[in-house]
Amino acid sequence: MASPVSSLQKAPAYHNLPTPEPDSPSLTRPRQPYRFSTLCATVDSPDADHKDQHGSSSVPIYQSATFKGVGNRYDYTRSGNPTRSHLEHHIAKISSAAHAFSVSSGMAALDIITRLLKPGTEVIAGDDLYGGTNRLLTYLRTHMGVTVHHVDTTKAESVIPYLQPGKTAMVLLESPTNPLLKIVDIAGISAHVKDKCEDAIVVVDNTMMSPYLQRPLEHGADIVYDSATKYLSGHHDLMAGVITCNRDDIAKEVAFLINSVGNALSPFDSFLLLRGMKTLAIRMDRQQSTAMLVAQILSKLGFATHYPGLPNHPGKEIHDRISDGYGAVLSFETGDKSLSERIVAATRLWGISVSFGCVNSLISMPCVMSHASIDPAVRAARGLPEDLIRLCVGIEDPADLLDDLRHALIEAGAITFAANDYIRIPNPISRAVEKLALGEPRTSPTHEPREWFVSAPGKVILFGEHAVVHGVTAVAASVDLRCYGLTSPRHDNKISVHFNDIDDYKHEWHIDDLPWDVVVPVPKGHEHPESLDIRVIDAIKTRALPPDSQMPPKAHAAAVAFLYLYMTMTYSGYRPSFHFLCRSTLPIGAGLGSSASFSVCIATALLILHQRIELPTVPPPTRGPAAPGDPGHIHLSHKGRRAIPPEIADETNRWAFVAEKVLHGNPSGVDNSVAVFGGALAYVRPGYGKRSGMDQIQGFRSLRFLLVDSKVPRDTKALVAGVARKKISEPEFVGQLLDAIQTISNEARRALADPELSRSALLSGLAALIDENHAHLVSLGVSHPSLESIRAMTAASPYRLSTKLTGAGGGGCAVTLVPDDFSDEALQTLISALEADGYRPYVTAVGGSGLGILSPYDPITVDEGDDVSPPLSPPASPGPGEEEDPLRPSIRRRFENVTVAELSQWASDRGKWLYV
């Protein structure tokens, strides 16, 4: 009988048989690179020398201070340890780095990095930093002779003035910052640094994102460090920091410093960190998905919420470009420090603690905890709110975390539950304190149940239409034909509109029936994101309005724009109830900016009613000296001009542009800017290799024009497409035309802004440029027989006036320059001739005032004998002991019925108007 050993030896060696060739060609495809989560879970040996002799599935802990032998790779754990080598190899692999180092904490990592600095060098750092980073930089500045500049790194160009070749040694960034989640353009700043100071190094604290969501080395950073105590470990059971880089010279210095200082990570902590990193991806997926839910809920409640995943977060487009996710840290403001303290104290599942990145959710007040080491004055100067609450989301069930947070908000008195929804409770005490601090009146007219009367001008493109689409400068100016909007208070929880000149459209909505469930409000003080919220638009179209096939197209678009702004502006649970009536002296759809002036009117009215803007108080009147030494005061009246400050104009313009996007999809922004700011501006479309944007033409002097509506409908898209096709088929010819129109725009812009140019020279020059520009537009194929007829009539004797098409052409309007010495009699004769041929002329001034608001500090003038309108709905009955508010007179019905010819003067006579 054969022995077992001999039997084994005779057994066929199956493992030595060759592998059959695959039958399917698909099996021969090369393997794809591993995804990040696979890289995290798979720990490779740095090299063959580190393979465990026993095949351990987990990296062994070499818990030894010393190693035997001479000249071997390891001799003393301060200088190197096999467990730490495995860890550092793994960190480099997932960080897109050539070198990685692990030390005893995140601050130890920054300490090693700042030891690269020398006395006399300079550091540029952000103004929203982790408290420990700020503390270390302060020490370097006061003890080590290092100059530190704190700048707003959310603007990449802000670092440029401080970049000094030979002096600037380091630029220190965080993105997102802690705790305001500000976004920094790492790639943009890195490019500036390399361009101005090639010897300076860019250092990025990547703790908030971890290598899973952001790898700054891929965007130009020289050194990246993380507090591995946070997301990399994920369990808050160790202290660690990691440093990564790609440059060999930096790696050599860092390795020397770590060995010299002796703060390398211990073997056991290296093992724990390596174990925690294996679950980094799966942990962060859960954490950031829950963080998004929390941020959306807080934002919807009206709290100013800071989270890169929200569509309105400043710099979101930059973050999306350099990162793969939004992280699990967010913060929000309550407006009251004591309220924030009550919220934090009322939570149960959210642990009150500093730090973040752990599997358990944490809550804190940075100004009291993690950032308390920063001087309060410095915190205030850097815009760090004392009431700020930071949330660090863990891996608990999202429903439990949201429930705990809602209960804490209710218990603290921040929100309440009403009408089957959570709504924010306004905080009148803090707002009153804020008003006193700012010197504002205790009762602002913005909050009173009164009528608001607003207006905005139309626009005319004087030069550059059509060519502007291809990068040529356009010159546009306001016209003295305006859109007017009147809001009248309601008391029945409804909103209603009457678009008098848009098919006489009327509609009424119960506020609670609007599709609020899809709305993420834009908090006060925040800007609307670049993109529209398509969910809200779709919900308005399907749930708040009849199908567009059952409504006039212009009325449907106007209603959607109105409701979109109304709903996205709503915050803090306050939803004003009112009626909006709109009328215009502008022809609708004639290319004179009627939609933009409408957008400005609804934006202004809604900003006022949602209490997002407040008009400045009345300046003190002129008075004589009241006592010896008192010089008295002189008030200079500007007749309402420049009474609306730039910040209100800018905010209105941003929201009007949102309305224009709803109406037109991809507007240039020229029309609404002219409607807000008035005067004239030059505009260059982005993307043509030249300086783009809008510039106000300073010193513009008002001009008289005759606008003639041909009453021929235009197809703007078809006309623009036709020019584009012509450019493709005849590039040289069209290119010459565009160059010629650019020259015309340049000439006109200089002439209009030149205060030394005589009036007669200006008018004769503009007349010649008008004729020249129109000839080129005819060559582009965008004129129309009706426009040529108008041009011929105005150019004929005895008028001899210069006329051109404006806007898209193909119909619409023509503009005729009327010299100062042109007689009223001749002008009236020309108007009569145009009217006889079926055209509609308007005499108007060009370059006048922009946005106007009837002053709220005086009663609205009601003419004697006017039918004073009753309120649309009865006000609420007064409570016990309260007096019934007297009803204010209303101009709604008179505004509704005044003729178009009388409208402008009638509106002017209602009181004192305030203008931009």
3-state class of 276 per DSSP? helix
> Helix (H) and strand (E) counts for the chain?
27, 27
- The residues facing 580 across adjacent strands are 487, 497
Report d(CA 476, CA 471) in Å as an integer.
15
Q: For 365-517, where are the E strands, in sequence order?
A: 389-392, 415-418, 421-424, 452-463, 474-489, 494-499, 505-510
Residue from 205, 336, 533, 709 carrying the catalytic annotation: 205
Contact 360, 351 (CB under 8 A): yes
SS3 of 666-732: the string is CCCCHHHHHHHHCCEEEEECCCCCCCCEEEECCCCCCEEEEEEECCCCCCHHHHHHHHHHHHHHCHH
Contact 178, 306 (CB under 8 A): no
Indicate if 130 belongs to the active site.
yes
- Nearest of 785, 787, 810, 595 to residue 723 by alpha carbon: 810
Return all residues near 87 (Cβ < 8 A) that are at least 6 apart.
59, 102, 265, 270, 271, 273, 274
Report d(CA 727, CA 390) in Å as an integer.
55
Return all residues near 705 (Cβ < 8 A) that are at least 6 apart.
460, 479, 815, 816, 817, 818, 843, 844, 845, 846
Bridging pattern class, strands 168-174 and 122-126? parallel
Tokens of 337: 């420090």
Tokens of 742: 């650019």
- Using a 10 angstrom Cβ sphere, with 0-12 exposed, 13-18 middle and 19 or more buried, the burial of residue 386 is middle
Helix (H) or strand (E) segment spanning residue 892: helix 892-897
Return all residues near 466 (Cβ < 8 A) that are at least 6 apart.
719, 720, 723, 777, 780, 782, 808, 809
Indicate if 230 belongs to the active site.
yes
Q: CB atoms < 10 A from the CB of 884, how many?
A: 9
3-state class of 916 per DSSP? coil
Report d(CA 746, CA 805) in Å as an integer.
19
Tokens of 165: 């070749």
Residue 189 to residues 157, 183, 197, 205, 805, Cα–Cα distance (Å): 7, 12, 11, 14, 46
Q: What phi, psi does 53 have (nearest 5°)?
A: -65, -20
Q: Residue 259 carries which side chain, given as an amino acid letter?
A: N
Residue from 111, 127, 130, 231 carrying the catalytic annotation: 130
Return all residues near 883 (Cβ < 8 A) that are at least 6 apart.
none
Residue from 84, 93, 182, 230 carrying the catalytic annotation: 230
Tokens of 106: 């995140």
Contact 591, 808 (CB under 8 A): yes
User: What is the set of active-site residues?
Assistant: 78, 130, 205, 230
